[in-house]
Each structure stands twice: as C-alpha cells, then as structure tokens.
Structure 1
Amino acid sequence: MGTQLNPLSACIGVLTQPKATFFVLKKQHNWSWLAFLLVMVAAILPMYYYFHVVDFQWYKESIIASQFSNVSPSEQQNARSLLDATRGIIGTVITPFIMMLTLVSIIAGYLNITTKIDPQNINSYGDWFGFSWWVLMPSCVGALLSLGILFFATNGQISFDAISPSALSFIFFIPPTSAWFGLASSIKLETFWTMYLIYTGLLQWIELSRQRAAIIAITPCFIIWLIWALILMF
C-alpha cells in the first residue's frame, strides 16, 4: 500500500484502512495539506449552502422564537435587525475557519503533551498538527450527508441542525428550546470515528499500549460531555 499511496488516496485510506495509512503517513507529514483543505471545506460548505437554500425569513423568526421569546418586543425587533442573510453567509465562512484552526491547534497541543510518555517519540507539535487534520477526515462524510439533505429538501424551512445530521440533536429531534440541545448538538457520530482514528494513529506513530492510546483518544470529549451533562442536571 505504501508504494501506491499519495495525498489523495491517503484521504480515502485514513477512513477505510487507517492502520496501514497512518503507518505510511508517519513518514509523510507534508501530505496533510490536502486533509487540511478537505476538512476546512467540510466545515464551511454545508453552512454556506444552508444559507443559500433556507427561507431566511422563516429562519429569522425561528431564531427569535427559540432564543428571544422571553424578551420585550422592542428587543426582539433589534435582534431581527441584526439577523442579516449576507452577514450570515460571511459568518459561515469566517467562523468555521477560525474554529477549526483553534480546534486543531488544541488537539495538536494535547497530543504533543500526552505522547511524551513514549521516550522514543520524536514527533514535534507541527507533526501532531498535521496528524490532527487526518483524524478529522470523518467530518467530510458528515458534510456529504448534510449536503444531500439540503439538496433534496422540499422547501426552505430547514432546521439549522441539517448541517450536522449525525448530531444527537438531529437524530433524536431535540428542539433548540431544550436545555440539552447544545450538548446533543456537540455529540456527533463522526466524533467517535475521530476518536478511533486517534487511537489507531497513535499506535502507528509511537510506542504505546492499546489501553493508553484509548485513554488519550477518548478522554477529552468524554470529560467535556460529562461536565456539561452534570451542569445541566444540577
């Protein structure tokens, strides 16, 4: 597989044959530019397309109803004036770009620190920064599913959740007015796929036990979700 692998096939291989692909990527750190581009497109395109197909007046009123129902009519009107389609489209490009760079920077820093337990580990922060784009490749699958839902929508009254069809909020029809909506929106099926890719990639890149690799892969998300759930419960 290694002799046939290239940046494009690696993007597919990391999803279909992660063990063999990460083995090759250990010596091909400069290939992560393509994973970066694809993950960024996956983060931006569904949101961008959403604001092109949604009935924006309906979207605006749904936001007012879910987030500003307890304020005065004048405050609601001020909120309406701030909700602008052009501004929304621009925000869908800038915000995901900044958020993804921030997320990957944090993941890379976390992996750079936690993998120091392997004395043979010579990977730098930059290496883990590239690694982080590879493990986020499942987001491309989620983006394709989102684009399909948006494309085949029969009218413009489409829930914003449609851009994250693998989120628990979408799967279990949790409304934006629910206190659990934010947490449910953050738990996506591809996140578990990403955890598996981190686990698999770590075993190929450094000398770790399976147990330690699993702990490194799953700990951050589960701690965040647990604390979030406890706050909502108490």
Structure 2
Amino acid sequence: MFYIKTNKFNMKLQLSLLQDMVTRPKYAFTQIASQNLSSWPAFILIILTMQLFYALYFNQVDMPWLVDYTVNTSLGQATPAEKQQLSQRLTEETIRLSASIGSVLMLVFYGLITSVYLNVITKLDEQNTDGFKDWFGFYWWVQIPAVFQLLLSSIVVLVTDSSQTPLMDLQITSINQILGLTPEDKFYSFAASFDLFSLWSIVLLFYGLSVRTQLKTSTITNICIIPFIFMLAFSLVFG
C-alpha cells in the first residue's frame, strides 16, 4: 500500500529488495507482499534520482542552445515568426521547471493510469482483493529500473564532453540508438524513451502479478503486453 507503516519499515530489507529486483524478482515481490512493505521508499528513491539527473544535466547543458533546440523540435515546420514568438516565452527557467517538475507529474499520472488498468484487469482473478491504492503502491516497485536508468544517464552527463546534448540522447540503452530516428519521425518519442530498463519493468510487472494474483501465465503475459501495444499506438497517432 502507498502509505508508511513505521512498525513494518526495515531499512536493511528495503535495500536488499533492490538487489532482489535484479537477481530474483519473484522473491522480491513475495517479500513485499508478505511483509506488507510500504512503497514510499521506492517512490522517494525514484524522485530523488530523477532530480539528481536533471540537476546534473542543467548544470552542464548550454541553455541558450537548449531553448533553440526545444523551439525547433516543438514547432517543426512553423514559420520563423512563430518560432521567435515561442522562443521569447520559453525561458531557461521554464525549461528547468517543466523538466524537473513536469516529469514527476507525468510519472504520477502514468502511475494513476496503470493503477486503474491493473485494478480493473486483475478482477479476472476472483480471489484477488487488491484495490486501487494497492496497485498504485505496486506501480512504484515496478518502476525501480528507472533508478538505474537515471543513474546511468547521470554518469553519461558527467563523462560527456558536449554541452549540446538533447535529453533523449542520454538514454544510451534506448532502442532509438539502433533505429536512429529523428524528432520528426512518428515513433521517435517511443523509441527514444523505451529501453532495456523499460523491458526490465515489464519483467517486474510479470513477476509481481504472478505473486499477487492466481492468474494463468498466458493471461499475465497479455496484461503486461497490452500497455506496450498502447504506447506504440499512441506514438503512431500523436507522434
């Protein structure tokens, strides 16, 4: 559940879960369920690593260049006058806030959507009594790979020599490193954001559902694949 139970909080156990998420994810989710562990540590860890990454990035990036890059990629084929108008409104502070705060809000929004989806779809298991709050807490454990992805991206920021690197290019494990799509391509946002750590989250979702429900393996697999298909469709329509 997404609340703190001080009598259940065990720092050593919480830290060991990070290792278990890599080596034995099913055991990790069994521990979370049996110990009724709070998801607050996972949530806080994700947010802190996210803010660390943005702090490092904005400390290094050439902000005037980033403003111009954001304007050009956002407006695409717009006229120079339209781009100039946006450039005047799009300040460096606006970009900082929209990235550091907007990304947190977007992550929470995805968590809400995913929780609603899991709350509905897991009703296929008549014995499962988890509600929306339970799945909202569960979501943050599934997102633990984001911590490792953000730390890796932070290392890339520290070792790169260029001060003119787009955010998306820092995800060196994304499938766009293979596809080489540009911001003008429909699937660019999906390809640039979906990486090995996203696959890891899908694996964690699978094992987590196998622990919390009595659903068949094939059903759980389909539950995990549907959001992936939705993201592809969203990129096709709005990309």
TM-score, normalising length: structure 2? 0.85
Contact 2:67–2:92 under 8 Å retained in 1: no
Aligned counterpart in structure 2 of residue 142 of structure 1, from 149, 154, 157? 149
Aligned counterpart in structure 1 of residue 91 of structure 2, from 79, 84, 87? 84
Deviation at 1:182, TM superposition (A): 2.3
Aligned counterpart in structure 1 of residue 213 of structure 2, from 200, 206, 209? 206
Deviation at 1:171, TM superposition (A): 4.4
Deviation at 1:145, TM superposition (A): 1.2
**In 1, distance between residues paired with 2:92 and 2:146?**
25
Aligned counterpart in structure 2 of residue 10 of structure 1, from 17, 22, 25? 17
**In 2, distance between residues paired with 1:87 and 1:204?**
43
**In 2, distance between residues paired with 1:99 and 1:155?**
28
Does residue 72 of structure 2 align to residue 65 of structure 1?
yes
Q: The residue matched to 1:27 in structure 2 has which SS?
A: helix
State the match for 2:103 in structure 1: 96
- Distance 1:225-1:141 versus aligned 2 partners, 3 A rule: same
Say how many residue pairs are matched: 230
Q: The residue matched to 2:38 in structure 1 has which SS?
A: helix
Aligned counterpart in structure 2 of residue 218 of structure 1, from 220, 225, 238? 225
**In 2, distance between residues paired with 1:195 and 1:47?**
25
**In 1, distance between residues paired with 2:231 and 2:69?**
28
State the match for 2:126 in structure 1: 119
Structure 1, 133-142 or 159-168: larger mean CA deviation: 159-168
Does residue 54 of structure 2 align to residue 47 of structure 1?
yes
**In 2, distance between residues paired with 1:208 and 1:69?**
46
TM-score, normalising length: structure 1? 0.87
The alignment-based identity, stated in percent, is 26
- Distance 1:147-1:32 versus aligned 2 partners, 3 A rule: same
**In 1, distance between residues paired with 2:43 and 2:11?**
21
The unaligned stretches of length 5 or more in structure 2 are 1-9
Contact 1:169–1:185 under 8 Å retained in 2: yes
**In 2, distance between residues paired with 1:111 and 1:34?**
21
- Distance 1:82-1:4 versus aligned 2 partners, 3 A rule: closer
Deviation at 1:166, TM superposition (A): 2.8
Contact 2:125–2:214 under 8 Å retained in 1: yes
Aligned counterpart in structure 2 of residue 162 of structure 1, from 169, 185, 198? 169
Deviation at 1:206, TM superposition (A): 1.6
**In 2, distance between residues paired with 1:107 and 1:139?**
16
CA-to-aligned-CA distance 1:73-125 (integer Å, 9 cap, x gap): 33222122122222222222210121111111111111111111212212222
Contact 1:32–1:133 under 8 Å retained in 2: yes
User: What amino acid is aligned across from residue 111 of structure 2 in structure 1?
Assistant: V
CA-to-aligned-CA distance 1:15-74 (integer Å, 9 cap, x gap): 322111111111233421111111223444323422221111222222333344533333
The unaligned stretches of length 5 or more in structure 1 are none
**In 2, distance between residues paired with 1:94 and 1:66?**
21
- Distance 1:124-1:227 versus aligned 2 partners, 3 A rule: closer
Structure 1, 191-200 or 28-37: larger mean CA deviation: 28-37
Q: The residue matched to 2:164 in structure 1 has which SS?
A: coil
Deviation at 1:212, TM superposition (A): 0.9
**In 1, distance between residues paired with 2:11 and 2:51?**
31
User: What amino acid is aligned across from residue 176 of structure 1 in structure 2?
Assistant: P
State the match for 1:105 in structure 2: 112
- Distance 1:58-1:126 versus aligned 2 partners, 3 A rule: same
